[in-house]
Chains A and B, each alone.
Chain A
């Protein structure tokens, strides 16, 4: 379990994280969401005891973050890399030992994971000789080879090829099934909506919203319309009291604001285009983020 409580961190005059609190529970996937520069990575570094909080605390399984808790965590940073001139096997063993495994334990788990990822042949190769996709797999192994109770991934899907993205998803879901605590951060909310059980939305260093994702969504109600159509969609731009979040030339995600209703939009749509699909749903994470940020800024719904 990760318990972050009233965490503060500033660099010079800039408050990177302000009073952040949230809890990530075992057997669940926790998403740290928000735009770049919102304080996600700084928070993750404090959870990993790479940075020390100015105020507040991080508890890992009820222990204050420190050298001891580092052993319980597997961490894949956003900026990831390996020693280019070191052999795959030696490199993984080095990381395993830094996490407290003995040489023999380390060798055993490395063989297991390399086999699992069909990478046993690379053990004697230098990382610099591997393709990008291959070294990404080595990176996963380095993160979880010491069987951590807690797995943290910072922007895990950025830069991954589709095959490795799927592989990583599988691994994360497996870890969840094993009852591990999983936390990952991303700024691409739509990509991870299906995976997260709980979330914390970060904006400008603050947690603007946190809790169970399903509950959060239902609390917003079915205030969004998904419209699929064929024809000239320019009428959508003329709609009043709406926010268009996701738009292509055959699709639009329309958030209904004060004074706008779903039937009214359907009526307009039928007048202008051939409607293929019309559905009233809960808002997307992107929409939740935008409306939450706007509310906390006190700017109302007319942004």
Chain B
């Protein structure tokens, strides 16, 4: 008959139990070809980043040696030969004006990119989940205050602060760690909002009321009834933050406040490439396409996971 089953609350709180749910999610994910492609590329890229020294050694190059003999000084230091000096020695050619090996520099760029992206994620999750939980569990005043703070942090162009902060912190502070802290510090709003929403929605469930009636303490209710429902959603969402973090790192390095030379980073390479796009397109394409591939692969994978859990939330919007 008219089953008046009212769906209360959050974007998606699974209505089925864990084992069947997990199996179903895995099955959906496995049949999702774009997501699988994303997974393969992601794994390859991470392997390449981890084994960067090995791969560079295989090529026989490093990131810092100048190869000025390969440059055409008459044309302002553009590499000799086609495609920015691609050769058996230099698989992706060399950098203009310095002649440093691009393959090696791109590989080490991946290391920075991924390290910062994952490190930032940890900061974001710690901050976002903590603030979200505080807002969700903390009662009306805490929720109102923190809720405002969350809204503000989402709509505010925090990168402005990030630039100011990055510009004035002394060079002695390890740059990648600083980047993780700064990007994380200014980008936790989404995680916090989701955590808060999940907690608030789950709190209204009748099974939470039933747990209260059974005499369970608030701590037990949070641990046993609410967190197991909220955290999977938050963690899934976190995956989609990774590509965003990579873009943030590249953007800050592009603006000249990210990692400092001689450490190589995709954003920084792109920043110098700005003046070479006519004379040496290869110098734009190597870091540009590396970043693009990585961001796309991570996005496809993360979105696939999300689509498997909640099709409506997917970027591709499969319903």
- Please indicate whether A and B come from the same complex rather than being unrelated chains: no
Residues of chain A touching chain B, judged by Cβ–Cβ distance below 8 Å, are: none
Binding site for A on B (CB under 8 A): none
